[in-house]
Copies of this chain bind each other. A is one copy, B any other.
């Protein structure tokens, strides 16, 4: 409540009539302190406006109370998601009395080395993990705990968290099946992405397919190449091949707009003739020509949970935490999905 920047633990100790170590124990709770002493010390801390010196604390305790957030900072389409994510990481970290150091993706492995080797941080939250991520070996060899957002090809022994894409694929189909649709398509990522074996694309497709089988629904998975032209062509081919098609799931953010247009142009009104579910941020879904029912990456939840995981590893060891945590999808119904019209064409043979 007073000055600052110069008051140290010995000042507090003197003011409270105890030894510095006692003050330290009051602060950390690592030894029992009589209620009376504790209150006296706490009062002194407040009156003097004492704040432990972060560096000194880090040196003595080998804990910095800072964690690194490694994130891509180049402009892209996902910005709102990233921001939400960063915000929730910072907020969650604060509830554990930690601060967040911002490390850019571009700093790569050297960046990680730097912040860990210099004991700047106690742990890492690493966003935007690729299938073949160059940082994985390093992360694995690190003596510091880390949590990865997304799943690399080889995830064993790493703590990863992400939306459950299999369940997401299933949820979309469940939703559509419930509305009576009998012939559905998954309009997915560009072909390369599948060829590369990218995890989330494959998992979504798998969930989609198995749920369709479970419901006894006619289902197909179609990659969508980038660009308006490709979208248009994909739609034409699709409608020709599956005349009974009455619903699609779009898992390709940039293609969503073009695809909707293409369907429109092909005479399919949404949702009268065609129901559409998308995997994309709510922003995008809300602002499409017709608001699209969607499942979004739960950025805030991912952020919060990842910090919780990290803190648990820090406090209770790496074994205290599951390797993979998959967040359940939440589908937000909007105007783009409706029951199948009884008079629509019969399901394709």
Contacts and interface: CB of A to CB of B under 8 A. Distances in A.
Interface of A: 4-5, 49, 51-59, 64, 66, 69, 73-75, 79-80, 82-84, 86-87, 90-91, 94, 99-104, 106-107, 113-120, 143
A83 B87 CA distance: 13
Contact of A90 (B59, B73, B113): B73
Given A4-B113, A101-B101, A102-B69, A118 B87 contact: no
Contacts of A59: 53, 55-56, 59
Contacts of A86: 73, 102
Contacts of A53: 59, 118-119
Interface centre among A55, A66, A106 (most CB of B within 10 A): A55
A113 B117 CA distance: 28
B84 A120 contact: no
Nearest to A115: B99
A54 B49 contact: no
A107 B83 CA distance: 16
Contacts of A117: 4-5, 49, 51
A83 to B, nearest CB: 6
- Copies of this chain per assembly: 2
A56 B60 CA distance: 9
18 contacts: A5-B143, A51-B113, A52-B118, A53-B119, A54-B64, A55-B59, A56-B59, A73-B83, A73-B87, A74-B87, A79-B79, A82-B83, A86-B102, A90-B102, A91-B106, A99-B103, A99-B120, A100-B102
Contacts of A51: 113-114, 117-118
A91 B66 contact: no
Contact of A58 (B54, B69, B106): B54
Contacts of A49: 117
Contact of A91 (B56, B79, B104, B119): B104
A100 B53 CA distance: 18
A33 to B, nearest CB: 22
A83 B79 CA distance: 8
A108 to B, nearest CB: 12
Contacts of A75: 80, 83-84
Nearest to A94: B107
Of A54, A66, A113, the most chain B CB neighbours within 10 A belong to A54
